[in-house]
Amino acid sequence: EIVLTQSPATLSVSPGERATLSCRASQNLNNFLAWYQKKPGQAPRLLIYDASTRATGIPARFSGSGSGTEFTLTVSSVQSEDFAVYFCQQFHTWPPGNFGQGTKLEIK
Amino acid sequence: QVHLVESGGGFLKPGGSLRLSCAASGFSFSEEYMSWIRLAPGKGPEWISYISGSGNTQVYSDSVRGRFTISRDNAKNLLYLQMDSLRAEDTAVYYCARDIRIYHFWGQGTLVTVSS
């Protein structure tokens, strides 16, 4: 089973700063990785798929990079609405297409 | 605009049963695979089942196979999850999602709590 490890567990940044979130896979995923944003009481939202393709309607400040086993989600200038939990998900081996444990992006 | 609304969650004891529903709109429901995904406190999301557009194919995760049953009513644009023999570890918010592999659209979720 592929294991996804997200780091850090919590990332504290000030609005306007850059945020860099990491997702490491236990096996080569090629570029079969997605990122989701989850806010309390809201539906999860797809941000990035195929490691670097922004989903429809996602602001350009969100970008994804990486391939193989190391992936990064970058928020170039964090806005107040970006404070949330972010999950990575692999779909190289699917099902189950498991998710990481999440990184909480919080206000510093 | 794709819209998914789950319902049917609740509080129940171990061994109990529950049926979740997901009302879909804004797309051609019968043409799309649908999935159920759950999010337990302190954990990452977990895919648990999907069903083909026709309903002929159903696949389950190891954690729910034999206890949960996914189904759909394409005439009513409804997706279902019948949950039997519930356990404490099934406690989670349950989401329906359109598609498989990459989940472009999710509902807001419905909370299922299993506790004695």
pLDDT tens for B43-97 read 999 999 999 999 999 999 999 999 999 999 999 999 999 999 999 999 999 999 9
Count other C-beta atoms under 10 Å from residue B71's C-beta. 13
CA geometry: angle A89, A56, A31, nearest 5 deg: 35
Distance from CA of A91 to the nearest CA of B (A): 6
To which H or E segment does residue A34 belong? strand A33-38
Q: Is the pLDDT of residue A97 over 90?
A: no
Q: Is the pLDDT of residue A83 over 90?
A: yes
pLDDT category of residue A94 using cuts at 50, 70 and 90:
confident
Single-letter residue type at B69? T
Per-residue pLDDT at A95: 84
Q: How far apart are CA B84 and CA B51, in angstroms?
A: 18
Q: How far apart are CA B116 and CA B87, in angstroms?
A: 10
Question: Number of CB pairs < 8 Å for A and B?
Answer: 55
pLDDT category of residue A18 using cuts at 50, 70 and 90:
very high
SS (H, E, C) chain B: CCEEEEECCEEECCCCCEEEEEEEECCCHHHCCEEEEEECCCCCCEEEEEECCCCCCEEECCCCCCCEEEEEECCCCEEEEEECCCCHHHCEEEEEEECCCCCCEECCCEEEEECC
Distance from CA of B49 to the nearest CA of A (A): 9
pLDDT category of residue A30 using cuts at 50, 70 and 90:
very high
pLDDT category of residue B113 using cuts at 50, 70 and 90:
very high
Mutate which: B47, B49, B51, vs A, most A CBs within 10 A: B47
- State phi, psi for A34 to the nearest 5 degrees: -125, 160
Contact assignment for A43 to B46 by CB distance below 8 Å: no
Residues of A with CB under 8 A from a CB of B: 4, 34, 36, 38, 41-46, 49, 55-56, 87, 89, 91, 94-102
**Tens-digit pLDDT profile for residues B17-46:** 999 999 999 999 999 999 999 999 989 999
To which H or E segment does residue A20 belong? strand A19-25
Contact assignment for A102 to B108 by CB distance below 8 Å: no
Which chain B residues contact residue A41 at CB under 8 A?
108
Q: Is the pLDDT of residue A89 over 90?
A: yes
CA B36 to chain centre: 3
Are B99 and B33 in contact by the 8 Å Cβ rule? The answer is: yes
SS3 A81: helix
Count other C-beta atoms under 10 Å from residue B68's C-beta. 22
Per-residue pLDDT at B9: 97
Tell me what the mean pLDDT of segment A59-75 comes to. Answer: 98
Are B94 and B114 in contact by the 8 Å Cβ rule? The answer is: no
Per-residue pLDDT at A96: 84
